Amino acid sequence: MATNSSNGATKQPPMPSPLRFSKFFQSNMRILVTGGAGFIGSHLVDKLMENEKNEVIVADNFFTGSKDNLKKWIGHPRFELIRHDVTEQLLIEVDQIYHLACPASPIFYKYNPVKTIKTNVIGTLNMLGLAKRVGARILLTSTSEVYGDPLEHPQPESYWGNVNPIGVRSCYDEGKRVAETLMFDYHRQHGIEIRIARIFNTYGPRMNIDDGRVVSNFIAQAIRGEPLTVQVPGTQTRSFCYVSDMVYTILVSLLSVVILIQVLGVIDYDHIYA
Ligand SMILES: O=c1ccn([C@@H]2O[C@H](COP(=O)(O)OP(=O)(O)O[C@H]3OC[C@@H](O)[C@H](O)[C@H]3O)[C@@H](O)[C@H]2O)c(=O)[nH]1
């Protein structure tokens, strides 16, 4: 199930600069990727850079991301890397925004929970402010954690979740829920073109060995010949998604008319285009 963009918009987005339509103006698509030095972000950047019409700007504070993930693009004329924390304003001109910036592994987002919630709330407000100012379409990477400890299995996008507002994961769960609310309110109130991708547990190359998530932990433990640690109660289930499938779906989501989509392990591509 997915939410379609035909509902709810009360106002057209502001027009970009008239220079954008000038025949002398460069026609490249200028794309901002926040968190572009991270695990999923850097794979997304690789894909965007494959298109010669794209100019890619990455904003990252390198808390969990690394310049190493982007080293093949550093110095490329269509690529720019900015050390920037999204909790601060960013005044640039772009056509599209992929807003990924936020630590996603529980051990990292719980390390500084106040910073995590600021990143989700103030960071998303700043990116929406930017989208409004320049008329850019914006995609937020949300999370399966918006369902909290779900009482429905599997969860459709229409399920509202079962979330603890004061738990140790709340900085992330509730932070992303507020971020989603902000996205929809900017859409309804200001006509901003939004997309939300609810990302489930993703794995693949460039995952940090110390990431702490179950797939990387199990692989690292297996390589070291250590026992695999299954945390209590041991009956948890997850839907896993390989990073290239994830990136493909994020890219298609921004271009499609569907506002809200879950990115699970098994991707129904026909459904994305619905
Ligand atoms: O070594 C481990 C690590 C984790 N686990 C368990 O495996 C399950 C998965 O845990 P992970 O740490 O991989 O991460 P989660 O699935 O809870 O959340 C993750 O997936 C969804 C994303 O949107 C989130 O950003 C991300 O944190 C949990 O139930 C956890 O208790 C183990 O049993 N052993």
Cα(231) to ligand 1 centroid in Å equals 9
DSSP state of 14: P
Report whether pLDDT(87) > 90. Answer: yes
pLDDT tens digit string along 168-192?
999 999 999 999 999 999 999 999 9
Choosing from 108, 213, 242, 249 the residue with most ligand 1 atoms within 8 A of its CB, the one to mutate for a pocket test is: 213
pTM of the predicted protein model: 0.90
Choosing from 140, 198, 199, 231 the residue with most ligand 1 atoms within 8 A of its CB, the one to mutate for a pocket test is: 231
Residue appearing with tokens 């850079």: 49
Question: What residue's CA is closest to ligand 1, atom 34?
Answer: 230
d(CA 185, CA 194): 10
Query: Which among 59, 55, 49, 58 has a CA at the least distance from the CA of 27?
Result: 55
**Secondary structure (DSSP) of 149-163:** S-SSSSPPTT---B-
Query: Which among 240, 253, 210 has a CA at the least distance from the CA of 96?
Result: 253
d(CA 180, CA 173): 11
Catalytic residues: 172
Q: Which of 16-25, 65-74, 108-117 has the lowest mean pLDDT?
A: 16-25
Cα(273) to ligand 1 centroid in Å equals 29
Percent of the chain with pLDDT over 70: 86
| Of residues 239 and 124, more confidently modeled | 124
d(CA 128, CA 138): 7
Is the ipTM reported for this complex over the cut 0.90?
yes
Q: Please, which pLDDT band fits residue 257 given cuts at 50, 70 and 90? A: confident
d(CA 171, CA 141): 16
Question: What residue's CA is closest to ligand 1, atom 16?
Answer: 201
**Secondary structure (DSSP) of 107-144:** HHHTTSHHHHHHHHHHHHHHHHHHHHHHT-EEEEEEEG
Please give the CATH topology (third level) of the domain spanning 3-213+240-272.
Answer: Rossmann fold (3.40.50)
